[in-house]
Amino acid sequence: MDIRDDLQAKFLALYGYEPAGEWSAPGRVNLIGEHTDYNLGFVLPFAINRRTFVALGLREDRVIRVASSFSDEVVEIPLAELSPGALHGWSAYPLGVAWALSGHGADLSAVPGVDIFIESDVPVGAGLSSSAAIESAVAIALNDVWRLTLSRPVLAQVGQRAENEAVGAPTGIMDQTASLLGQKDCAVFLDCRSLDSEIVDLGLEAAGLVVLIIDTGVSHQHATGGYAERRASCELGARMLGAQSLRDVTVADLPRAREILDDVTFRRVRHVVTENQRVLDTVEVLRDLGPAGIGDLLDASHRSMRDDFEISVRELDLAVETAQANGAIGARMTGGGFGGAAIALIRSDDLSRLQVAIDGAFAEHGFGQPDTFVVTAAQGASREN
């Protein structure tokens, strides 16, 4: 039974009627451009072939119910009572989206209530945006059934608002944008200040390359701790440099930044400023030479996150080093950091050798076995039926 048959059956068993439709949205992997989104810089993620599916049925009252295959709980709340303070746990993601839509034309005292069932094969805690996949799938579903006609970039902002205010994680706009705008075999090049995006051909298959995910199993949380602290450092750095955001600081400004800032803030700033440049360079190299040319940029991005931004962990460094020593063209940790996954860009012929080497290296260091799997660049959120 595939995940979608299962979804129909579970919706029916739980709610006692057939859903009105099904929608889906993918997780994402970030090829390059880490912690640049909330600094209004550049990112280059792609949507992956792991998806979250949402079945939705319309109710006759103004209540919203959500259930999922990853919890036994069915959460029910009148639409009019939705507010960030009323939402907790996993249901804050879908319910937060319903609430955030009220800032974009959904009159929660007039739209019909809904029942939602969610199923997903996006790994949780791996830095592959399982949360944005939920938000984006629910956002396109509600946008359709509530006839809101919001554009995808606006739905990405809705998802981000849900995550920031209902879930309480101060994340940027990258994940939802990748999930909503992704296209098969392509990456999404996003300017996080103007929100202009371009679809960039990855050309992986033609080059005989694949992207391997090495999920370390070290789980991370962005609602607490390091992520928010890094964001605060970036904002402090920008303020001290008299810039509105680090987007306005360039590589040429770094010598002056070194004089003005304390060492830690300077290194945080240097990561963001050089990472923005690496995104621009990656896009150019992809267009001129294809994916085989971007390895050094991926490697440099990892070093910058490890040494300057200090968001890597030993397991991620080991994954990256092992990949680099076993044929990868380039490798880096991906996502917010402090755990999660690394990516390795590698020739398909070298893949099994690398997987064996990764397992061996993790065993040798006494780390738990990582989950390794190839991802392809997939279509963004869509209506399934």
Give min distance, CB of 320 to ligand GLA, in A.
Answer: 16
Residue ranges with strand state E in 137-208: 186-191, 197-201
Give min distance, CB of 337 to ligand GLA, in A.
Answer: 7
Stretch of 29-37, 146-154, 199-207, 296-304 contacting ligand GLA, by CB under 6 A:
29-37
Site residues (CB under 6 A) for ligand GLA, limited to 104-123: none
Give min distance, CB of 111 to ligand GLA, in A.
Answer: 28
Give min distance, CB of 340 to ligand GLA, in A.
Answer: 9
How far apart (Å, rounded) are the C-alpha atoms in residues 95 and 361?
42
Give min distance, CB of 130 to ligand GLA, in A.
Answer: 11
Give Rg (Cα) of the chain. 21
How far apart (Å, rounded) are the C-alpha atoms in residues 82 and 102?
10
Does 175 participate in catalysis according to the annotation?
yes
Stretch of 27-35, 64-72, 281-289, 301-309 contacting ligand GLA, by CB under 6 A:
27-35
Asked if 156 and 116 touch (Cβ cutoff 8 Å), the reply is no
Stretch of 30-38, 56-64, 254-262, 349-357 contacting ligand GLA, by CB under 6 A:
30-38
How far apart (Å, rounded) are the C-alpha atoms in residues 7 and 54?
8
Question: Which is nearer to ligand GLA, 174 or 273 (by Cβ)?
Answer: 174
How far apart (Å, rounded) are the C-alpha atoms in residues 77 and 91?
11
Task: Determine the size of the site formed for ligand GLA (CB under 6 A).
Answer: 12
Site residues (CB under 6 A) for ligand GLA, limited to 311-350: 335-336
| Position among 15, 31, 34, 328 found at the interface with ligand GLA (CB under 6 A) | 34
Place of tokens 């070290």: 218
Q: Is 363 exposed, middle or buried (0-12, 13-18, 19+ CB in 10 A)?
A: exposed
Site residues (CB under 6 A) for ligand GLA, limited to 253-272: none
| Position among 32, 35, 118, 380 found at the interface with ligand GLA (CB under 6 A) | 35
How far apart (Å, rounded) are the C-alpha atoms in residues 261 and 263?
6
Question: Which is nearer to ligand GLA, 24 or 30 (by Cβ)?
Answer: 30
How far apart (Å, rounded) are the C-alpha atoms in residues 177 and 30?
11
Place of tokens 């792991």: 50
Give min distance, CB of 192 to ligand GLA, in A.
Answer: 9
- Name the nearest CA neighbour of 69 among 21, 117, 116: 117
Determine the residue type at 137.
A
Specify the DSSP element, H or E, that contains 240.
Answer: helix 226-240
Query: With binding defined as CB under 6 A, does residue 37 bind ligand GLA?
Result: yes
How far apart (Å, rounded) are the C-alpha atoms in residues 132 and 40?
19
Site residues (CB under 6 A) for ligand GLA, limited to 137-176: 171-172, 174-175
Give min distance, CB of 173 to ligand GLA, in A.
Answer: 7
Please count the other Cβ atoms lying within 10 Å of the Cβ belonging to residue 239. 11
Question: Which is nearer to ligand GLA, 217 or 335 (by Cβ)?
Answer: 335
- Catalytic: which of 115, 175, 215, 299? 175
How far apart (Å, rounded) are the C-alpha atoms in residues 175 and 82?
24
Question: Which is nearer to ligand GLA, 19 or 94 (by Cβ)?
Answer: 94
Asked if 176 and 135 touch (Cβ cutoff 8 Å), the reply is yes
Binding site for ligand GLA (CB under 6 A): 30, 34-35, 37-38, 171-172, 174-175, 222, 335-336
Q: Which residues are catalytic?
A: 175
